[in-house]
Structures are given as structure tokens and as C-alpha cells.
Structure 1
Amino acid sequence: MRLTCPTPRSLRLPALAAIFLSLAACSSVEETGPPPVPAEVMDTVAQNPGVNREKLARATDALFTRDDLGETQALIVMHGGKIVAERYANGYNANTKFLGWSMSKSVVGVMIGMMIAEGRLALDDSPPIPHWERPGDPRGEITVRQLLQMRSGLRHNETDDPPYHSDTVRMLLLDGRDDMAAWAEAEPLEFNPGQIFEYSTPSVVILSDTIARILAPHGSAEQRREAVDRFLKSRLAAPLGMDTLTAEYDASGTMVGGTLLWASASDWGRFGEFMRNGGSVKGVQVVPRGWIEFMRRPSPRAADYGALIWLNRPTESGRNEMFAKRGPADAFAAIGHLGQFVIVVPSEKLTVVRLGKTQDSERPALAQALADIVQLYSGK
């Protein structure tokens, strides 16, 4: 008689087979997760960027690789005054000058602040435009403050369909191109000054003309251009180290300050850092700190706009040029056509520069992708 050891019920052959099959299935499923960050992408991020280096590399890489954000040509992230991430698309480099488009407006805002600090201009006076000063001309009620806050009341139609019907296109490229300020200043009032917010590139050209009238009164076109260019470079570009800052001028010698200022990505970053530090560079106050605070103060007619600067705040209109729902509340930005951004977050000692070409339909996604970078710092 042969004795055998009984197999426990739980380990009989069918059950054992099931166990082995289950283990085999488990072993065939590998752990999934994001692929490793390529070494060349990691190389664009500093060793100690102030947040998780790999997360920052992924967030910056997304701007260059996602299909829904347009074309990113340059990106710089600065933290605590140092560049912690820097990258360029093929065909662009650290020496490339990038058109700021409407980021140029913020530069004009600083220049106006210098004029006011020197007593050459008053915030609540009308700009020195002779035909506005004639008795009975209602445009004489428009103040410098209202022009800065985009509530002049002038009939300036920023966009239209077709585009060549818009006042901005007409001023820049068509009937106003030779003397843009004269064209913008000739427009009648559509609303009472100060009544409503209406974003307006022609308003900033009027401010650029105001600067020229102060620096070169009764000057020729060439004298106006030379005076403004000298002021821009000696009083702003030189102290900030913005060696590449370049302005374009129309035939009348007016700086096209609403759209046509150029600078390298790092120089746009220097401008952001200057704003983050309240108008100072290495302890030297280039423009009064109170002026930068004024630029960052919401307009009475637009919670998300200050004085030629965008604010990260929600509005009743639902307009959201930045990412107000994700904060931080103290973030502000110079923003330009086709997705140009200089984002500043003073509370996090952060400046983010993005330059490229993004269509309007892609702008919301781009803003959120930039918010991903900001949130690495603000949410850490």
C-alpha cells in the first residue's frame, strides 16, 4: 500500500494554474509613467532652479513640443535674479532680437513715469497736443492717466473684421503710417474720457508723441527721433543692461511705442526683473518705486489692467489674458501679439519670458502652460 500526501484544497492543480497564470499576467504589465526627460532638455535647466529640476524641465519642454501652443522661439525663467532655464528653437539664439509687439507698451509706461518724476509732465493733465488745447475741443479733457489706463474715450477700434478696417492696422500700415500720432490724435471722442476701458494701441502712440514733444519741442522728425532714442538708451536701456533694446520710428520721428520695440530674450528678462524690483537695478532707483506700484494698480474700469501692464485678476467681462483662476494674485505681465509674455511674480522672485508665434485660438492653452511653470514656484 503506497501512502500519498493529500494536496490541500486551496492548492489543487486548477487553483495552482490560476495563480501562475495570474502572476504571468502581472509580470507582463510594466509600470507606466512619463518617459525620462531627454538629457538635452535637462541641460537647459540649472542644477538648482529653486524647484524640482525635472518638473521644471518637463514644463518648459511642453512649450516647445506641444502641438496646441503655436511656436515657442525662446523661453527664459529667472528666479531670484538668476536664469534657471533658457532655451531657443532652431534658428534662434541668445543674440536674436525679438519683436515685443504690445510688450512695448510697458516700456513706454516706464518712460512716461520718468517724465512725470522729473516734473516734465503731470499725470492728471492733458498731454501737450496743440489742437487738443483749442477752446471747446473735448479731447482737451483727456488726461495722461486715462491714456495709460486705456480709458481715453477716443474712437480707437483695436480690432475688426476684416483686419484692415481696424484703427490699429490703418494707423500702422495704411493711411496713418507716415504720421501715426497725428492720425491717432485726430480721432474724435466716442465716450466721455475716463468712462470705459478700451484697449488701444493708438493711445500709446499718443503717449510716445508726448515724450517726443517734451524732449524735442518743435523739432524736426530727425531731431525727435534722435532725442527719444537717446533718452530710451541712456535712461533705460543702459542702466538695465538692455543692450539690444531697439525702437522703430515713423516718418514723423515718433517712436512706435505701441508695438515696435525689439530686444533679445535675456533683455526682455532684464526688463521683467526691473519691474519685479520696483523700478530699481542693483539698488539704483531708475524710476520711482511708487510709479511701478501705480502701473500695477488696477484701472478704475478694468480689474485686470493697470497702466500699460496686465494684471492676473479676474474681470466681469470674463477676459483673462493671464491665468487668474490659478493665481498668484500679485502676478503681472507685459503681453504682446502672437503670444509674447514677460510674466513677473514678485512674491516668488520669478520672471518668465516666452517669445514666439501663437494664434489667438491657441492663446488660452499657452497661458495655462505658462501657469504650469509659475505654479511650480507658487505652489511649492
Structure 2
Amino acid sequence: MKMRSPSTIATLALLPALFGCGDAPPAEPPLSEEALAAVASDAGAPTEDLARQVDELFTTEGLGETRAIIVMADGKIAAERYAQGYGPETRFVSWSMAKTVTAVMIGMLVADGRLRLDESAPIPQWQRPGDARGEITLRHLLQMRSGLRHTESGDPPYESDEVRMLFLDGRDDMARWAEEQPLEAEPGAKFEYSSNTSVILADIAARVLTDSKDPDVRRKAVADYLEARLFGPLGMDSMVPEFDASGTLVGGSLIHGTARDWAKLGEMLRRKGRAPGGEQLVPRKWIELMITPSPRSPQYGFQTWLNREFRQPGSDVTHTLIPDRAPASLFGLSGHMGQFVWVSPSQRVTLVRLGHSDSAQRSVLKGEMADVLELYPER
């Protein structure tokens, strides 16, 4: 038997490692000081992993422009970062995240005994004898199944009922324009995502809070109610709601606030309506209704998106958060061009992402956001 020299044996022992080098994944680049500084020392997740995932939301190509990220874990800021030109004092427009604020306001008015969920929605012109719109309830409106004629997105854009309401023939009195639309389906029978419906809800709130038709009085009544009952108790000092010329809150799309204040709202929802000090601002039961699947749209509750797969009949569009990557209990606020507040109760996490991303970019973006959530175990 031929004996091998010690040097030959050593070389052979190294061969598997040498041949495996070509298959080894490339080393991850070192994190910048900015990336590491964005993460708290007690983030509830591995510091470098969280810093890297947050960094990728700002630096990965194909995601659009991320302008702000906040991760709340167990009620504390675990990570916070802004793009150049933005910061903690920057107010970001809500777009459709405003819808969830509108639903919270309606819930408080129901709790106050001033509205009824399953009675005819109190719109005067719908109460005329023989008007089938009188069958529309508050629940129908909250679940986007009023049956009112509506096209959310049009091509060209001016064929969109939302665009017409916000910027064209409906802009001075948005609620009246939205409420004048005829039925295209039986109330309750069909899900139809509608920013105009949220303005109708905001108008209902104004009618409940004041009998006046004076725009300034209506504006003040709603703004004061939101401040006293929601924004003030949560310390959401930056919030600026917008109103149309008739004094109706643009409750489907135009509320401005800082990333931190949007995170505070998400945390209130995660705590089932409680403020950080324990005060019950919104009934727990109402929050549970907000995140209960609608019978016509399991991915939607009361003006709030749920983490369930759904394909609108006759459409290739699915309205989801990210059901294959996150807990079923995840729910969220979603706004135009990638404004997100994701709330994951089972992980005790709220994730805020604000920025500017088109439809294709948002698809990739949500995967990157899921990477952040996956750093936190369910409990």
C-alpha cells in the first residue's frame, strides 16, 4: 500500500472546502452608520438583521422611493429612518389611510349612541318615499357595499368617479356629489372599493355633530371631535385633516401627519382601541368589527384592509396585504402610491412605510416589508 505524505493528506482534506468556495453566497456588505443608527438597542429583533432589512427598504432598486420607516415593537420604537429631505417633523399625506381614521370616528359616534350601525344611513335625500337608497345602512358604507354607482379608477383619469369628486364637478361639495349617485346594485350585495363612500361617512359624522350647514361650523365640529377624542389623547399633535368648500372632511384621502403619529394610530388599533396609558378611546368591540371580514370581501373590514387573499370577480386584481408571508391577523391602512401602516397583533408589531411607489414597485415593496415582520416571532 502506497503511503501518502502528510502534505498530500492535508491538501486532500482541504479539497471539499476549496471546491465549495464557488457556491458560497457572497458576503453581505457592511452596514452604514446611518443604517445601524436607525435601530434601537432593545429592538426586540437582532439589531443588525433589522438594520439591514430597514436599509433595504431605502436602497433596493425597484421599490420606488421610501421616505419614512418606523417599526414599533411592544409599544416602543424599534427602528426609525427617513430619506434625505424628510424627518420626524415631516407631515405625510394619508391618501386612503384616511379611510381608517374615518371608520374610527364613526365607531366613536356609534359608541356615543348617536348613530346606529344597521339602520338606514341618515342621508336626507335617501329618505324620500320610494328611494331604494334608503336601504343602505352604515354597515354597508363601512364595508364598501353600498351599491351606489362608482368607478374608482378610470382610463382616462377623468372617467374616475373619485377624480370627478375630488377635482372636477364634485369638488366644492363632495358629499352631495357622492350621495346623488344612483344605485347600480342592491345595497349590501356587491363590494365596490370607493373613496366617495368614505366622504359620505365623513358627511354623516358632520351632520351628527352639528345641525349647521355653515362650512366653517361643520369643519370645526369634526376637527374638534377628532382632536378631543382621538388625536389629543394619543398625542398625535401633527394631524391636519383637510375639508372641502362645504366643510366636509375629505375622509377618504386627505389627512396629514408625521410617521410617528401614523404609528401611534396603528398602535391604538393593535391595542384594541386603548391609549398607551390604558384609556379605552374606541370600544374594543368596534375595533374587532373593523378587522372582521366583510361577507362580500374577505380582504376588507370596516375601511381597513385584512391579510386575506381575494380576487374581484371578473378582474385580475387581488387586493391583499401579503397573506403568504405574514400572520392572518395582520391588518392595515393602505394609501395611494405606497402609504402603509401594517399592524400585526400576534407579533406585537406596527410597521409604517411612507413614500412613493407605483403598482409594480408596491408588489416588490410588500415583500421587503414582510422581511421586516419575519424578524419578529408570533406570540
Tell me how far apart the structure 2 counterparts of residues 215 and 289 of structure 1 sit (CA, whole Å): 23
Is the CA contact 2:309–2:320 (under 8 Å) kept in the aligned structure 1?
A: no
Match of 2:72 in 1: 78
> How much has 1:32 moved relative to structure 2?
3.6
Alignment equivalent of 2:299, drawn from 295, 304, 317: 304
Matched, 1:280 2:274: yes
What is the aligned counterpart of 1:251 among 236, 240, 245?
245
Return the offset for 1:160.
1.2
Residue pair 2:308, 2:320 contacting (<8 A) in 1 also: no
Residue 202 (structure 2) aligns with? 208
> What corresponds to 1:231 in structure 2?
225
Corresponding position of 2:287: 292
Q: Which amino acid aligns with 2:292?
A: R
2-side partners of 1:190 and 1:378: how far apart?
A: 45
Alignment-mate amino acid for residue 365 of structure 2: L
Instruction: Render the CA deviation track for 1:183-207: whole Å, top value 9, x for unaligned.
Output: 0001000000000111000000000
CA–CA distance in structure 2, aligned partners of residues 25 and 303 of structure 1? 53
> Are 1:364 and 2:368 matched, yes or no?
no
The amino acid across from 2:357 in the alignment is T
Give the Cα separation in 1 of the matches to 2:271 and 2:16. Answer: 60
2:374 alignment partner AA: Q
Whether the aligned pair in 1 keeps the contact of 2:346 and 2:378 (CA below 8 Å) is no
Q: Give me the whole-angstrom Cα distance separating, in 2, the residues matched to 1:24 and 1:285.
A: 61
Tell whether 2:181 aligns with 1:182.
Answer: no
Aligned residue identity for 1:341: F
Amino acid at match of 2:116: A
Q: Distance in 2 between matches of 1:40 and 1:330?
A: 32
What TM-score do the two structures reach when normalised by structure 1?
0.93
| Shift of residue 55, structure 1, vs aligned partner | 1.0
Q: Per-residue deviation at 1:314? A: 1.6
Q: What amino acid is aligned across from residue 325 of structure 1 in structure 2?
A: D
Mapping of residues 302-341 of structure 1, within 5 Å:
302-317=297-312, 319-341=318-340
**Counterpart residue number, 1:351:** 350
Shift of 1:74: 0.2
Q: Which residue of 2 aligns with 1:133?
A: 127
Alignment of 1:6-45 (within 5 A): 10=4, 32-45=26-39
Q: Of 76, 81, 91, which residue of structure 1 is paired with 2:85?
A: 91
CA–CA distance in 2 between the matches of 1:209 and 1:12?
A: 87
Structure 2 CA distance for aligned equivalents of residues 20 and 120 of structure 1: 80
* Contact kept? 2:311, 2:319, Cα under 8 Å: no
Q: Structure 1, residues 290-338: CA drift from partner, whole Å, max 9, x if none?
A: 0000001001101110001000112254714310112201110011000
Which letter does structure 2 place at the counterpart of 1:139? R
- 2:178 match: secondary structure: helix
Contact 1:41–1:61, Cα closer than 8 Å, also in 2 = yes
Q: Distance in 2 between matches of 1:32 and 1:246?
A: 47
Paired position in structure 2 for 1:3: none
- Contact 1:109–1:148 (CA under 8 A) maintained in structure 2: yes
CA RMSD of aligned residues (A): 2.5
For residues 19 and 122 of structure 1, do their structure 2 counterparts lie closer, same or farther at Cα, with a shift above 3 Å needed?
A: closer
| 2:58 and 2:66 in contact (8 A); partners too | yes
What SS does the aligned partner of 1:74 have?
strand
Q: Which amino acid aligns with 2:300?
A: Y
CA distance in 2, matches of 1:27, 1:277: 50
Q: Percent identity?
A: 50
Residues 21 and 154 (structure 1 numbering): CA distance in 2 closer, same or farther, change over 3 Å?
closer
Mapped contact 2:39–2:79 kept (Cα < 8 A): yes
Moved more, 317-326 or 278-287: 317-326
Cα distance in 2 between the residues matched to 1:175 and 1:193 = 25
CA drift at 1:20: 12
Q: 2: CA distance between counterparts of 1:378 and 1:12? A: 50
Shift of 1:85: 0.1
Which range moves more in the overlay, 127-136 or 193-202?
A: 127-136
* Alignment partners' CA distance in 1, 2:359 and 2:13: 56
Q: What's the counterpart of residue 54 of structure 2? A: 60
Q: Is there any run of 5+ residues in structure 2 with no aligned partner, and where? A: none
Looking at structure 2, the residues matched to 28 and 278 of structure 1 have their Cα atoms a distance apart, in angstroms, of 51
**Conserved in 2, the CA contact under 8 Å of 1:328 and 1:378?**
no
CA distance in 2, matches of 1:293, 1:231: 22
- For residues 36 and 204 of structure 1, do their structure 2 counterparts lie closer, same or farther at Cα, with a shift above 3 Å needed? same
2:168 maps to a residue whose letter is L
Query: Are positions 1:144 and 2:130 aligned together?
Result: no
Q: Which runs of 4+ in 1 moved over 6 A?
A: 18-31
Q: Structure 1 residues 316 and 357 mapped into 2: Cα distance closer, same or farther (>3 Å)?
A: closer
Counterpart AA for 2:280: Q
Provide the rounded CA distance (Å) in 2 between the counterparts of 1:284 and 1:22.
Answer: 66
What displacement does 1:73 show? Answer: 0.3
Deviation at 1:23, TM superposition (A): 11
Counterpart-to-counterpart distance in 1, 2:199 and 2:179 = 9
Count how many residue pairs are aligned between Structure 1 and Structure 2.
373
Aligned partners of 1:347 and 1:110: how far apart in 2? 21
CA contact (8 A) 1:44 1:85 kept: yes
Q: Distance in 1 between matches of 2:167 and 2:25?
A: 57
